[in-house]
Structure 1
Amino acid sequence: MDVETDAVAADRAVKERHRRMWALGDYPTVAEEVIPRLGAVLVGAVGAGPGDRVLDVAAGSGNAAVAAASAGAQVVASDLTPELLTAGRAVAARRGVDLEWEQADAEALPYRDGEFDVVMSCVGVMFAPRHRVAADELLRVCRPGGRIGLLNWTPEGFLGQLLATMGPYAPAPPPGAQPPPLWGSEAHVRELLGDRVTDVVARREAVLVDRFDSAEAFRDYFKARYGPTIAVYRMIAGDPERVAALDRDLAQLARRHLHADGMRWEYLLLTARRRG
């Protein structure tokens, strides 16, 4: 087997692990119960609406894609995990909106150059391991003058800290992978997009999560429903001491962020226009 074939096989294995991870638990319920408003925030910021052909990259169950279709846009929701697309179709049917659902890798999008007026991602593309490759694809399929919209968890915010807390318990990332919360750093995203975009607007905001009345309630909810958390617990299932330690670490993290009115999960909202 030559070097190129080895690299292709390794990449295929990484993507298969990602597919299986996001199919664990019940991410569609997490999106619907915990962060239901985030998709509409992104759609409003990027201005997707009638007359726009929109691509939602790493769309999951369609938090942003369904919101864009509801706003009158022609939407394609793409994701690596077919189970999430199936859930998204059901969400769209319940809400009476039509859009396309297609399995696709954010690092190798199966679309023509400049095919979309709007290319967006809501806490999705951040989990593609090779940030530069994914950013290049976002820009490639966006037409000159089209809009890019990205909403991603910050490294310093709750979800960024959650991923960092789980890191020591998880297997080593594949070669070339970068931490997902870097997509929540304005400097990092600006560097990825470079001079290929203009009119960059970036701001940090937070979503209020009032779903959990205790730190343990958050931990147990994510242990049961959030794919990355489930995957980490499965990795250490044979070591009761490590399981107990992760239980403590997640509860302590949640306790630090839990206030009387809930938790505030910080994200970076960035919009730009592809240079013509």
Structure 2
Amino acid sequence: MNPNKALWEKGDFTQLSRHMRQSGVALVDTFGITQNMNVLDLGCGDGTTAIPEAKLAHTVLGVDIASNLVAAGNKRVAEEGLTNCSFQEGDATALTDLKDDSFDMVVSIFGAMFAPKPFDVAKEIVRVTKPGGKIVMGNWIPGDPTLVAQTLRISSAYTPPPPEGFVSPMLWGIPEHVVERFEQAGIKKENISCVKDNFTFNPPFSPAEFLARFRTFYGPTMNAFEAAEKNGKAAQLQQELEDLFNSQNKSGDSNSTHITATFLRVTVTK
């Protein structure tokens, strides 16, 4: 099986994404989506940004490599009675079902960054975007002191080295790499913008319970604990992540969680 597909089908990301809804809506409200637009949401999960986009756009297509997340997204669409939004399986490195110049906007928030072959990803995103259209990406930043970047950093320290030729998804959080990838896909440097932005997690329970969701349902953290258990280091990993989650919590209440994570917001005009 495709390793990336296996990673994101391994757990159940919906157990985390349901606590990202509020920030997803707030983020989408800044994209400038209008009711005549056809939007592609790539690496859409179960619709954290795709579903609010559908409430503003003409049509929204969500594409994700994980079949369980596609099914969860289509279930949410049905529950909300949206007729202009659908989800389907697809690989960000090869969007073979999608025609050139199909979408007014392509969005990928913490999604396409995890696909391998980043230059292929940039090329495909640009290919399916209409001339004059807009691309918006949200990518976690390597070395950033906030929650998600640090969770991924700590987790990677407990997992075996990646295979030869592996390109870290975190490089999508470095502006120079973003520019290089989109320039190679035919975009002028002056049409690429990178700024830092924030995304907030608001689960109505303790940081310890939030960490438990990561440990049980988030593929990268699940892999880290499996490797740590084999090496007798699971307790050490647990303690590192507990310290991180507790220190990041700004709710002022140990029984609720309010954690803001910083990401790189990329805007490209084709």
Q: 1:200 aligned to 2:192?
A: yes
**Residue in structure 1 matched with residue 119 of structure 2 by the alignment:** 132
* 1:138-164 per-position Cα deviation (integer Å, ceiling 9, x unaligned): 111111111101112222032111111
Task: For 1:217-232, list aligned pairs within 5 A.
Answer: 217-232=209-224
> Separation in 2 of the partners of 1:108 and 1:208?
31
Q: Alpha-carbon deviation of 1:213?
A: 5.7
Q: Alpha-carbon deviation of 1:212?
A: 6.6
Task: For 1:1-276, list aligned pairs within 5 A.
Answer: 13=1, 15=2, 17-33=3-19, 35-98=20-83, 99-110=85-96, 111-155=98-142, 156=144, 157-194=146-183, 196-197=187-188, 198-211=190-203, 214-239=206-231, 241-261=232-252, 262-274=258-270
For the 8 Å contact 1:42–1:150, the answer to whether it is kept is no
> Separation in 2 of the partners of 1:244 and 1:187?
37
> Separation in 2 of the partners of 1:145 and 1:210?
36
* 1:27-46 per-position Cα deviation (integer Å, ceiling 9, x unaligned): 1121112x113433443333
Instruction: Report the residue type matching 1:246 in the other structure.
Output: L
Q: Alpha-carbon deviation of 1:104?
A: 0.6
> Separation in 2 of the partners of 1:39 and 1:219?
20
* 1:166-225 per-position Cα deviation (integer Å, ceiling 9, x unaligned): 112123223333222222223322222126145434321222333276543332221122
> Separation in 2 of the partners of 1:42 and 1:216?
26
Range with bigger deviation, 199-208 or 24-33: 199-208
Q: Secondary structure at the match of 2:133?
A: strand
| Pair 174,48 (structure 1): closer, same or farther in 2 beyond 3 Å | farther
For the 8 Å contact 2:228–2:237, the answer to whether it is kept is no
| Pair 253,212 (structure 1): closer, same or farther in 2 beyond 3 Å | farther
For the 8 Å contact 1:129–1:176, the answer to whether it is kept is no
**Residue in structure 2 matched with residue 6 of structure 1 by the alignment:** none
Range with bigger deviation, 227-236 or 244-253: 227-236
Where is the helix percentage greater, Structure 1 or Structure 2? 1
* 1:52-95 per-position Cα deviation (integer Å, ceiling 9, x unaligned): 11111111111111111111331111111111000001111222
Range with bigger deviation, 184-193 or 71-80: 184-193
> Separation in 2 of the partners of 1:213 and 1:91?
23
- The two structures, once aligned, show a CA RMSD in angstroms of 2.1
> Separation in 2 of the partners of 1:175 and 1:45?
39
Unaligned runs of 5+ in 2: 253-257
Moved beyond 4 Å, runs of 4+ = 212-215
> Separation in 2 of the partners of 1:191 and 1:42?
25
For the 8 Å contact 1:154–1:185, the answer to whether it is kept is yes
Instruction: Report the residue type matching 2:11 in the other structure.
Output: G
Unaligned runs of 5+ in 1: 1-12
For the 8 Å contact 2:39–2:57, the answer to whether it is kept is no
Range with bigger deviation, 75-84 or 18-27: 18-27
Q: Secondary structure at the match of 1:237?
A: helix
> Separation in 2 of the partners of 1:171 and 1:49?
45
Q: Secondary structure at the match of 1:37?
A: helix
The normalised TM-score by structure 1 is 0.85
Q: Secondary structure at the match of 2:233?
A: helix
Q: Alpha-carbon deviation of 1:18?
A: 2.1
Q: Secondary structure at the match of 2:229?
A: coil
| Pair 214,171 (structure 1): closer, same or farther in 2 beyond 3 Å | same
Count of matched residue positions in the alignment of Structure 1 and Structure 2: 258
